[in-house]
Amino acid sequence: MQKINIIDHFYPDEHWVLLKYHIQHEQYQATYQPKGIHYTDRLQAYPCWESIDFSKVENHSVYNITKVAIEKTFPSLKIKTLSTLFRKILKSEIDQSPFKNRDQGLLHCDEHADWAGVVYFNLVDSIKEGTYLHESPYHSIPHTIIGARQNRIAFYKSTLTHAAGIDPNINERYVQVIFITVEK
């Protein structure tokens, strides 16, 4: 499998409809990225809202649908753990943060996993609202930009430096994030 995978129509239509319902009706908790650093005010970081981690709820439909889609799309992946949640980012909060007038969020790697995925739920396709991949945390110019399109997954090695895109014309960004560790 390649280090970067882009799959359109990741979920079958019947699952996509269910997930769109879930993402709009979930309870979200105010938080920020990166979680490993303490901020006294979440607006000092990259502010976001997160649902529960669906892997922590026994037999949750979002978790089950996600796991089946990953296994079907990437059959050679030997999943040890999979966690997934929904994330909502509000432009009104980004505008109060250090990321105001920037085109991307914080450059980071997801070192707690082997693979990371982002499924886009925005109503409007946007190259700016996608995922920016970088050579390293020291390269501010991305080498690859994956545009946000409904039901597209950007699936990549979690050691790749990346950042969420910020489109100034989009008021709310909805994504599903997926983290996978594999059996060695």
Residue-wise pLDDT tens digits, 37-96: 889 999 999 999 999 999 999 999 999 999 999 999 999 999 999 999 999 999 999 999
Mean pLDDT of 102-130: 93
SS3 state at 18? helix
Q: What per-residue confidence (pLDDT) applies to 137?
A: 85
The CATH number given to whatever domain includes residue 150 is 2.60.120.620
Say if residue 139's pLDDT is above 90. Answer: no
Q: What is the percent of the chain with per-residue pLDDT over 90, rounded to a whole number?
A: 86
Mean pLDDT of 111-139: 93
Q: What per-residue confidence (pLDDT) applies to 111?
A: 85
pLDDT, mean over the chain: 94
- 75's CB contacts (< 8 A; 6+ apart) are none
Structure token digits, residue 47: 């502010």
Runs of H (alpha helix) within 26-113: 61-73, 91-94
Q: Give the angle subtended at the CA of 21 by the CAs of 17 and 22, to the nearest 5°.
A: 120
Domain encompassing residue 41? 4-182
Q: What per-residue confidence (pLDDT) applies to 179?
A: 97
Runs of H (alpha helix) within 129-171: none
Instruction: Give dist(CA 29, CA 70) in Å, integer.
Output: 26
- Please give the tally of structural domains in the chain: 1
Q: What per-residue confidence (pLDDT) applies to 1?
A: 62
Q: Give me the half-sphere count of Cα atoms (radius 13 Å) on the Cβ side of residue 152.
A: 20
Structure token digits, residue 164: 């969420």
Find the Cα–Cα–Cα–Cα dihedral 182, 131, 86, 178, rounded to 10°: -10
